[in-house]
Amino acid sequence: MRRSDVPTPALLVDIDILDRNIASMRDAAAALGVKLRPHAKAHKCVEIAQRIMAAGAIGASCATIGEAETMALGGIGGILVTAPLTSSDAIERLHRLLLRGADIAVVADHPASVAQLAAVAAGAGRTLDVVVDIDVGMGRTGCAEIPDAVALARQIEAAPALTYAGIQAYWGNLQHVSPFAERARLIAIQTERVRAVIAALTSAGLPPAIVSGGGTGSHRIDAATGLFTEIQPGSYLFMDSCYSAVSISENDNPFVPSLFVAATVVSANKPGRVVVNAGWKAFAADSGKPVALRGGPPGASFRFMGDEHGALDFEGGGGPKLGATVEFLTSHCDPTVNLYGAFHVVRGDEVVDIWPIRARY
C-alpha cells in the first residue's frame, strides 16, 4: 500500500524517525547516567514497546492496569504502574497478572492501598514491589507530606508480601514550561522537595533504591540533579506541536515528529478553504489545533467543523484537490493515539506494516 492510499482518517508513524527518536533517548539516558523506563501511555502498542526494549530500556511505565496487561501479555518485563490501583476491578486484574508471573511493580500513596496490595500479593503467592508516590506540585496523586511518605514506606517494608522499592516523583505540569531556563528554575524548587524526601527516608533506614520520574520535556534537567535512578519519558517517540515548540534541552530539540494523522479532502468548493474528513474524533484537542504538514497549503490554519470534519483555511490558490491526502501534526500525541485502533507504519511513501494499538482500555 502507498502512503497516500491509507483509508482515512488514519494514524501514521514513520518507522525510521521513530527508531531515531528511540536511539536518541537511549543515548541521552546513557550519557546522563540514568536508566530508561519509557511510558507506554504514549504508544499503547506492544510492537513499539518491543523496539524500545531492544534498544536497552529496563521496562515500561504504564498509566493503567490495561496498559500493564497488554505489555505483560506481549512479553514486556520491568513494568511499573505509575498511578495507584484502588478499584476492585484493577486489584483483581493485578492479581491475575501476578498469577501469570508478570514482572510488575506498582505505586501507592495511601495506607489503605498498601493493605489492599499486600492482600492481593499474598493471595497470589508473590512478593510485589511497591514504589511510594510523592506529590511534587501537581496535586494529582502522591503523598503530600514527607512524614506520610516515610510512614507509608515503613508500612510497605513491614508487609510480608510487599517490598519497598523506592519513590516516584513526576512533575507533568512542568514538561512544557518555556523558556528552558524557567522550566529548570521551577523544577529546581521541586527537586529540593525530592531531596528532602530522600533524606528523610534514608534517616529512617529506608533509602530508596529507585527514584523514578522525568518526562520528555524535563528528562535532561531531572537526570542532572543526580537524584533520579530512572526516567519515564514517552512523547519523545512521536512528538507533537506542543513539544516541538519548546526546547527539550538548553540549546536544541533532538526529537523529530514521527506521528501524523492522515485525512482526505472531501470538499473543495470555496476559494481558500478545503474540508477534510478529520474533526473532533480524529484529534485530541486539549492542547490546541493540529497543524497541516504534508499535502497542506503553506501557512494553512485548521478549524474543527464537527466530529468528522475540519477545515483548512489558506491564502491564495493552489490548495489540495478533492480526494487529496493531507497529513497533520497533532497538538497532543498521547490522547490522539488513544483515538485509533492501529498505526499504519510508513517508510518513505510505502506502508510497511500495521501495528495494533491494543492498550486503549
- The fraction of the chain above a pLDDT of 70, given in percent, is 100
* Predicted confidence band of residue 172 (pLDDT cuts 50, 70, 90): very high
252 has a pLDDT exceeding 80: no
Average pLDDT estimate for 152-167: 97
Q: pLDDT tens, 57-78? A: 999 999 999 999 999 999 999 9
* Predicted confidence band of residue 244 (pLDDT cuts 50, 70, 90): confident
Break the chain into its structural domains and give their ranges.
3-9+255-356, 15-237
What pLDDT shows up at residue 335? 97
- Mean residue pLDDT of the chain comes to 96
Window from 159-163, 251-255, 268-272 with minimum mean pLDDT: 251-255
Average pLDDT estimate for 263-280: 96
* Predicted confidence band of residue 205 (pLDDT cuts 50, 70, 90): very high
249 has a pLDDT exceeding 80: no
Fold match, 3-9+255-356 / 15-237: no
* Predicted confidence band of residue 245 (pLDDT cuts 50, 70, 90): confident
Q: pLDDT tens, 6-51? A: 999 999 999 999 999 999 999 999 999 999 999 999 999 999 999 9
In this structure, CATH architecture of domain 3-9+255-356: Beta Barrel (2.40)
What pLDDT shows up at residue 29? 96
What pLDDT shows up at residue 260? 98
More confident call, 179 vs 248: 179
Superfamily name with CATH number, domain 15-237: Alanine racemase (3.20.20.10)
Three-state SS string over the chain comes to CEHHHCCCCEEEEEHHHHHHHHHHHHHHHHHHCCEECCECCCCCCHHHHHHHHHCCCCCEEECCHHHHHHHHHCCCCCEEECCCCCCHHHHHHHHHHHHCCCCEEEEECCHHHHHHHHHHHHHHCCCEEEEEEECCCCCCCCECCHHHHHHHHHHHHHCCCEEEEEEEECCHHHCCCCCHHHHHHHHHHHHHHHHHHHHHHHHCCCCCCEEEECCCCCHHHHHHCCCCCEECCCHHHCCCHHHHCCCCCCCCCCCCCCEEEEEEEEEEEECCEEEECCCCCCCCCCCCCCEECCCCCCCCEEEECCCCCEEEECCCCCCCCCCCEEEEECCCHHHHHCCCCEEEEEECCEEEEEEECCCCC
Taking the complete model, does pTM exceed 0.85, yes or no?
yes
202 has a pLDDT exceeding 90: yes
What pLDDT shows up at residue 253? 82
* Predicted confidence band of residue 302 (pLDDT cuts 50, 70, 90): very high
246 has a pLDDT exceeding 90: no
* Predicted confidence band of residue 318 (pLDDT cuts 50, 70, 90): confident
What pLDDT shows up at residue 272? 94
